[in-house]
Amino acid sequence: MSDVFIIGVDMIKFGRFPDRTVPSLAAEAALMALDDAGLTINDMQALYCGNLGQASGMVGQRMLAEIGQTGIPVVNVANACATGATAFRDGWMSIKAGLYDLVLAVGVEQMGKGLLGGGGGVSPEGLIGSGTMPAMFAHIGNEHSRKYGTTFEQFAKVSVKNHHHSTLNPKSMYQVETPLEQVMGSEMISFPNTKLMCSVNVDGSAAAVLASETMVKRLGLMDRAVRIRASTMTSNPFEDRQMAMPDFSGATRLAAKVAYEAAGVGPEDINLIELHDCFATAELVHYENLGICAPGEAGWLIDEGVTALGGKVPVNVSGGLLSKGHPLGATGIANIYEVATHLRGAAGARQVEGARLGLTHVVGGGPGMGTACAIHILEKA
């Protein structure tokens, strides 16, 4: 089977665009990614479009009405916070299967104001009860504290780090430093997550052009292509009918194991990571789930700056969901844009020097819904 490469990728600056339509946001990112590849919609053989809030609205077809209706097959995808990553993975699979040589993957979302899961706009894992997700991720953090002694300050340092990273990213919704005292002193949402430790609802879109190895060579784009070394997706590794709760950690650990095996690498080989920091507590726990440290060592990693820009394994150099924002359907492809940009050496002031392997991670779900986790490992071609 052919290797699959990213040859065009981009995202709009995340923000709030109440006067825009979802298809117009999707179209903007799609045209940017096509321009990045030096191609047009006429070159694409299929479209995979991820969107959650208007899942029944055939967003992909409506986007094509704005940039060119060429008769290609369109697949519309909704899969909680893994929506964009799922659309991307479907495109990857179609090329792997030999169906196409060039496909377009788009993720888009338009959301209201407010905290994720707190009643403003669409909640982070679908239309679920107000306040559920903050409480769930507070529980995850408190359990980590109970087991390993992780402190409120260590969780807060995640937000300090990611907000600092965002000041170097012109496409981030927020680009503001938040000192530790400010993070810890902001409104408490669900202990230990304060308001500045929660991702926020924003509008956004991101897109990627995927190509077979044959097509990349034919187009002469191998020097700027990014190889997809692994694309994995998991759900809850077991079902507890009594609790009916999503197992974000179990799904992530399973996806990471499968991804590392598929790529033939280990966590020690990864140069940068964009992971699902929907809350500050989530980022620390996912350090361990992704294998970049042993259980109980996540607090030490944040204290020592290991996951900051300039550290051994920079995490969420984009600013993450905490600062860049979390438009549900767009997040998975936006994470891929960030890592691919570093592998191309084009990330500017936030560039992770010498980056050759990067990992992206998203995970979503909710009570009674289960879990969807997607991990991609990307490599400089």
With contact defined as beta carbons under 8 Å apart, do 283 and 277 qualify? yes
Length of the chain: 381
373 assigned to active site: no
Q: Which two tokens stand for residue 268?
A: 């020690």
Distance CA 205, CA 329 (A): 8
Exposure string over 317-334, b if 16+ CB within 10 A, otherwise e: bbbbbbbbbbbbbbbbbb
276 assigned to active site: no
Half-sphere exposure of 335 (CA within 13 A, CB side): 36
The active-site residue out of 144, 164, 326, 361 is: 326
What backbone torsions phi and psi does residue 210 show, to the nearest 5 degrees? -110, 145
Question: What's the burial of 58, exposed, middle or buried (CB within 10 Å: 0-12/13-18/19+)?
Answer: middle
The residues, any chain, with a CB within 8 Å of residue 139's CB and separated by 6 or more, are none
Torsion of CA 29, 7, 221, 61, to 10 degrees: -60
The active-site residue out of 49, 81, 198, 373 is: 81
Nearest CA to 84 among 205, 184, 174, 183? 205
Q: Which residues are marked as active site? A: 81, 326
